Chain A
Amino acid sequence: MEMQKLRRRRLKGSPIFPKKMYAFVIPAFILFLTFWIFPVFQLFYYSFTNFNGINYHFDFIGFKNYFTLFHQGTLINSIKNTLIYTVLIVVGSNVLGLAVAMALNMKLKGKTFFRTCTFLPALFSAIVVGFIWSYVYMPDKGMIASLLELIGMDGSRFNVLGDFTWALYAIAAVEIWKSFGTTMIIYLAGLQTVDESLLEAGKIDGCTEWQLIRKIKLPLISSTITINVVLSVIAGLKAFDYAFIMTNGGPGKATNTLMYTIYKIAFNEQMMGKASAFSVVSFIVIILITISMLIFMNKREVEL
């Protein structure tokens, strides 16, 4: 008898938080499933067809889309570009963000001013940022070119967005410019939780400034580092904006990121089947990187 009562109670859940509470999830669940998760599965389906986005009488063509992608080399090139871009974003945003946060964490006058300056770019829309930096990078008349002229160098030869090697680094710099302020604010919040007395103890024991940072501050904010790195990796893998607004993936294929290539195949070439195959591969790449990163970061956090 007792057992049965207990069982029944467990099935119904506790009286304060009954199972029917799950009804609260339904609206969000339906929206999320229909417009975010279900489309991912549709990608797998479309990737085996020659669907062009307009004509619904499409054929199944097996793995042909996948073969074409590997043969053309677009896939490997885009993966390579996206990975380079991601590494640049992760290192750039986090090093700059952490450095500025550490400086601002000291007792300084004008802290709010410095914080505002570094955060300001985060308020702008990516499209506006793209326009502004198109001017900054413009050959001949742009900001950097004019500055080079000013100090007596040949500004007309400065054309970073038209350069096969440097274009990718140039758009990554734009993304870092826009995002490191946000990273900095998160680091600042993490640093403020570091116990002053630990640093005092370290100083009394004769630690150098670098030892204080390496042995006390960094280990204590390791969870903040994890969050910021994860956020930058996710942002880097999604790289699209500046390849779309500033370079159109060019010169050649130098700034084709995964997401920009998908967009180009789908909307410019109108090949939805091929774009879907590309998306499927991208998705697998993104999942693999995210999972291995989470495993690595978890291990690292324990070690520190």
Chain B
Amino acid sequence: MRKEGIKSGKVILYFLLIVFCALTISPLLIVLSSSLRVPENMQSPLILFNQFSLQSYIEAFQKMNFPTEFLNSLVTTTGSIILVVLLATMAAYPISRIKSRLSKGLYYFFIAGLIIPAQMVIVPIAQTFGNMNIPNTRFTPMIMFITCSLPFSTFLYAGFMKSVPVEIEESAYLDGANLWMRFSKIVFPLLKPATISVVITQAMWIWNDYFFPMVFVSKSAQYSLPIGMIQFMGDRENPAQWNILFASCILCALPMIIAFAVLQKQFINGIAAGAVKG
């Protein structure tokens, strides 16, 4: 009796999950199916996958200048992430190793940054950039990407570093290793799970962020993928442009989707570890 109850329960559960997942991804399916039509095909987008053509993709590819925008995104994201990992591990090292009021103060100083929204401080930041004569180039948003990633990353690294035993460092100290050697050769490699978490979570927001590039990049040739999408803003009201718009949406998201497909385990563990340790 009981077994049967569990079985029918499972069937209901499967049914609910399938319906729920179908609802969740239905907008994405429609976008995908429409993007595979020729631009002139104006049939209702609800008729799924009735044509397979890359024509819309070719036009979107040219209109958004995909190779340039992709490269801009890649360079700024990679550069920011490398610097965040370096700066955040360095900052977390003394904060977690020295027990003092200063460490505690610095710890809360960095965490406090988590609650400050970018839109709130963007005016004074832009003023500071102006005063320091920082030009608007494709690299300018990197300063803000790094700054905004510091609170979370430092917080996470400080938490993880507590699990790295002090004894290892003590024996290295007795063997004559200096501070920098201990940090780079012993502590940093042991922080790998935290680094994966920082890289995944921070790369996800930096890659997808359009706000800082919108404020700090002026030439369209220097746009990254998300900010390049702004030129399509008017097209979403116009069904005649939908197929190309949808193709550009997919193109914009494609690098992230491929990264997720390849590194699925790291994504899931990285996100979970980031929140649980934090």
Residues of B102-149 at the interface with A, using a CB-CB cut-off of 8 Å, are 102, 106, 109-110, 112-125, 127-128, 143-144, 146-148
Tell me the bound Cα distance from A276 to B236 in angstroms.
33
Pick the contact of B114: A114, A138, A234 (CB < 8 A).
A234
Which residues from A are CB-within-8-Å of B257? 120, 123
B54 in contact (CB, < 8 A): no
Residue total for A at the interface (Cβ-Cβ under 8 A): 92
A254 in contact (CB, < 8 A): no
A240 in contact (CB, < 8 A): yes
| Most chain B CB atoms below 10 A, which of A17, A115, A234, A283 | A17
Which residues from A are CB-within-8-Å of B183? 24
Which residues from B are CB-within-8-Å of A28? 87-88, 90-91, 110, 150, 154
Does B124 lie within 8 Å of A103, measured CB to CB? no
Does B95 lie within 8 Å of A227, measured CB to CB? no
Q: How far is the CB of A202 from chain B (nearest CB, A)?
A: 16
Which residues from B are CB-within-8-Å of A182? 271
B227-254 vs A: 1/0 string, CB under 8 Å? 1011011001101001001100100110
Known: A28-B154, A128-B252, A227-B275. A21 touches B94 (CB 8 A): yes
Pick the contact of B27: A39, A143, A238 (CB < 8 A).
A143
Q: How far is the CB of B140 from chain A (nearest CB, A)?
A: 11
Does B122 lie within 8 Å of A266, measured CB to CB? yes
Which residues from A are CB-within-8-Å of B14? 108
A148-170 vs B: 1/0 string, CB under 8 Å? 00100000000000000000000
Which residues from A are CB-within-8-Å of B39? none
Pick the contact of B278: A134, A177, A227, A259 (CB < 8 A).
A227
B181 in contact (CB, < 8 A): no
A-B contact pairs, 22 of them (CB 8 A): A16-B173, A17-B98, A21-B97, A24-B94, A28-B91, A32-B147, A35-B128, A36-B121, A43-B121, A46-B123, A46-B124, A117-B24, A123-B257, A125-B209, A126-B210, A132-B249, A134-B237, A138-B237, A189-B276, A234-B115, A260-B119, A279-B121
- Residues of A at the B interface (CB closer than 8 Å) are 13, 15-22, 24-25, 27-29, 31-32, 34-40, 42-43, 46, 53, 100, 103-104, 106, 108, 112-128, 131-136, 138, 141, 143, 146-147, 150, 177, 182, 185-186, 188-190, 224, 227-228, 231, 234, 237-238, 240, 245, 258-260, 262-263, 266, 272, 275-276, 279, 282-283, 286-287, 290
